[in-house]
């Protein structure tokens, strides 16, 4: 896929910023490239702490939610927390459960089964709560789109408090939006149009944490008693792929620090089981190792297992649950690879693969994997992708979508809302249920209203700065740590150098499908480089540019013929106790 390289050129007084904040002008430039401007925002970005978090009572209806829960806790009324089956929903459920138990509340939990119940509140869950004698339902990471179900719960005499972070459903009226809030006793969601809370990007677990923090303070308890729950806020923020900006950056930085010395038996067992050193746990480990294990239980079994892991009280129990979750995730990986192969085959060989919005029907794909497969398809083709699978309900299909930055998936689905039994989501991800007979019509209609251009669907590589290899030093690496944690919305800086010659090259990796180079820049500085992409694709491009002979003799010296432009991130190679600087190549152009 052809890429579009763009060198960022955002101006500022980098020397002055560097002097005021005791950083290099280069780091000041990287911060400006992340649209962090003004001394107050720069200070918060570099050194923000939990003391800088906004008061949760600023959220619309937070005062009402606190008032209700104070009364229910003091009365000893039964409270049921109803979460969701993904990492955010599980962590939010655990936060509310722990927080309410700490106040002496009579509280239990329920989490929907992905297959039997589907997403969010439904009548099964409400019936179960009513039969159990529940007085008050508190939702987390769901509820904002459950107007009918909440009305039903209210008719049964139950109190309902909604905490959520998803988009509020709306109708388009005269070119504007008319929002539809559910008829709950309190609706706490920073995405409410009338919510004055300044940071809108919180995950469901963070909203739940804000509620517990406000409740503790209102009941005369020190909210620092629940600081330890920021570990779960960090887990959920990274695992739910929220932007690591503003308050999320503070939550994740603080949570990662806490995870290094966590006393939670479940989290300790999961890190041990997956071979992660607690002292070096980072966003990568949550996003690609630990988080998928928690998500796997909700995908292939029940998310209640993941909740049990977080709530485990003994090492023995935690070790057993962690092992089960890792095994489930290993199984999930195999099933995912098979489904991705089928999806790619469909894109490459059918008419639907030539459309701007990819709608792929994979009846044999486990419905819990649809979102992962859609994400992989989106990454490969840089187009919005929906993967639709068979539902357990007669005549119905379920789908998950993953989007690109230029395409607001929830708003686009809203244009086709009459085709769906139900749907929900936000800018970059969505879920839907529809009748099987409407799949083809959905494919055509969603593309008919699509306004994406070729530029929108071309991967853009944003380069922070051109930097010669001589600048890659341990001092630079140490300073770059000030920009962490990295993730969505705060990605690792991208450096670039052009007209680089290849001094040596060899295949590496278990499957011999990655490359290790020795590169030399225009200033004569040599640097080791690793490329974790597909070596086969690289060699195909070499052949297209220089011919078959150069490709066939590439590792015997043919590499000396080529020149590269590369994007990279600095790193350290540690081998047999010896440390040397290296770069990790992220993209390349053969020149």
* CATH at residue 186: 3.90.1640.30
Residues 568, 170: Cα–Cα separation, whole Å = 43
In this prediction, residue 173 carries a pLDDT of 85
- 67 and 192 assigned to the same domain: yes
Beta bridge partners of 526: 520
Q: Among residues 101, 160, 86, which one has the least CA distance to residue 129?
A: 160
- 420 and 473 assigned to the same domain: no
Beta bridge partners of 432: 399, 423
Of 448, 480, 501, the residue at which a domain comes to its end is 448
Residue 90: exposed, middle, or buried by beta-carbon count in 10 A (0-12, 13-18, 19+)?
buried
Per-residue tens of pLDDT for the chain, all 591 residues: 578 999 999 999 999 999 999 999 999 999 999 999 999 999 999 999 999 999 999 999 999 999 999 999 999 999 999 999 999 999 999 999 999 999 999 999 999 988 788 778 999 999 999 999 999 999 999 999 999 999 999 999 999 999 999 999 988 888 888 999 999 999 999 999 999 999 999 999 999 999 999 999 999 999 999 999 999 999 999 999 999 999 999 999 999 999 999 999 999 999 999 999 999 999 999 999 999 999 999 888 899 999 999 999 999 999 999 999 999 999 999 999 999 999 999 999 999 999 999 999 999 999 889 999 999 999 999 999 999 999 878 899 999 999 999 999 999 999 999 999 989 888 899 999 999 999 999 999 999 999 999 999 999 999 999 999 999 999 999 999 999 999 999 999 999 999 999 999 999 988 888 999 999 999 999 999 999 999 999 999 999 999 999 999 999 988 888 999 999 999 999 877 788 999 999 999 998
Residues 152, 113: Cα–Cα separation, whole Å = 20
Tell me the residue length of the chain: 591
- First-residue to last-residue Cα distance in the chain: 17
In this prediction, residue 313 carries a pLDDT of 95
Domain assignment of residue 476, yes or no: yes
In this prediction, residue 1 carries a pLDDT of 54
Number of domain units in the chain: 3
- 492 and 580 assigned to the same domain: yes
Domain assignment of residue 315, yes or no: no
In this prediction, residue 563 carries a pLDDT of 94
- pTM summary value: 0.89
In this prediction, residue 470 carries a pLDDT of 97
Q: Is 514 within 8 Å of 539 (Cβ atoms)?
A: no
- 73 and 168 assigned to the same domain: yes
Residue ranges making up the domain that contains 494: 3-9+460-590
In this prediction, residue 586 carries a pLDDT of 96
- 542 and 439 assigned to the same domain: no
Half-sphere exposure of 14 (CA within 13 A, CB side): 13
Residues 575, 516: Cα–Cα separation, whole Å = 14
Domain assignment of residue 219, yes or no: yes
Of 204, 227, 250, the residue at which a domain comes to its end is 227
Question: In degrees rounded to 5, what are phi and psi of residue 407?
Answer: -130, 110
């Amino acid at each position: 896929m052809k890429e579009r390289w763009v060198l960022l050129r955002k101006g500022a007084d980098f020397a002055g910023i560097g002097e005021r904040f005791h950083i290099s002008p280069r780091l000041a430039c990287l911060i400006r490239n992340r649209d962090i401007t003004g001394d107050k925002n720069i200070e918060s970005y570099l050194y923000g702490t939990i003391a800088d978090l906004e008061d949760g009572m600023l959220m619309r209806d937070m005062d009402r939610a606190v008032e209700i829960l104070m009364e229910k806790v003091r009365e000893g009324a039964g409270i049921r927390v109803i979460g969701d089956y993904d990492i955010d929903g599980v962590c939010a459920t655990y936060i509310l459960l722990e927080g309410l138990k700490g106040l002496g509340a009579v509280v239990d939990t329920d989490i929907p089964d992905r297959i039997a119940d589907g997403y969010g509140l439904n009548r099964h869950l409400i019936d179960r709560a009513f039969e159990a004698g529940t007085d008050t339902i508190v939702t987390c990471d769901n509820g904002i789109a459950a107007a009918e179900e909440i009305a039903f719960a209210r008719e049964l005499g139950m109190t309902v408090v909604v905490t959520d972070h998803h988009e509020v459903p709306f109708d388009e009226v005269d070119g504007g939006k008319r929002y539809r809030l559910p008829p709950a006793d309190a609706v706490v969601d920073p995405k409410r149009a009338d919510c004055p809370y300044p940071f809108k990007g919180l995950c469901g677990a963070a909203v739940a944490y804000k509620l517990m923090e406000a409740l503790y303070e209102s009941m005369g308890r020190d909210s620092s008693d629940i600081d330890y729950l920021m570990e779960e806020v960090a887990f959920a923020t990274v695992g739910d792929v929220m932007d690591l900006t503003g308050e999320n950056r503070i939550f994740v930085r603080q949570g990662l620090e806490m995870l290094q010395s966590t006393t939670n038996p479940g989290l300790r067992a999961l890190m041990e089981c997956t071979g992660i050193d607690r002292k070096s746990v980072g966003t990568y480990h949550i996003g690609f190792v630990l988080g998928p294990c928690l998500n796997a239980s909700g995908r292939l079994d029940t998310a209640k297992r993941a909740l049990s892991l977080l709530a485990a009280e003994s090492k023995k129990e935690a070790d057993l649950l962690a092992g089960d979750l890792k095994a489930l995730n290993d199984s999930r990986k195999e099933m995912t690879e098979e489904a991705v192969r089928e999806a790619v085959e469909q894109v490459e060989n059918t008419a639907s693969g030539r459309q701007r919005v990819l709608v792929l029907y994979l009846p044999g794909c486990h419905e819990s994997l649809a979102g992962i497969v859609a994400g992989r398809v989106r990454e490969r083709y840089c187009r919005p992708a929906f993967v639709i699978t068979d539902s357990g309900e007669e005549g119905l299909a379920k789908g998950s979508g993953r989007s690109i930055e230029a395409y607001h998936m929830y708003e686009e689905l809203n244009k086709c809302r009459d085709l769906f039994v139900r749907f929900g989501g936000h800018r970059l991800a969505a879920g839907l249920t529809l009748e099987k007979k409407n799949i083809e019509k959905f494919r055509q209609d969603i593309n008919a209203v699509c306004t994406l251009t070729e530029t929108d669907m071309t991967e853009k590589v944003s380069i922070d700065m051109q930097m010669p290899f001589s600048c890659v030093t341990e001092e630079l690496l140490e300073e770059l740590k000030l920009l962490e944690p990295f993730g969505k919305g705060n990605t690792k800086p991208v450096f670039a150098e052009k007209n680089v010659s290849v001094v040596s090259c060899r295949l590496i990796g278990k499957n011999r499908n990655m490359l290790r180079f020795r590169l030399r820049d225009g200033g004569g500085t040599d640097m080791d480089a690793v490329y974790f992409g597909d070596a086969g694709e690289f060699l195909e491009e070499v052949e297209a540019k220089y011919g078959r002979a150069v490709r066939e003799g590439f590792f015997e010296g043919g590499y000396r013929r080529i020149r590269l432009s590369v994007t990279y991130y600095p790193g350290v190679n540690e081998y047999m106790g010896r440390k040397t600087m290296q770069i990790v190549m992220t993209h390349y152009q053969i020149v």
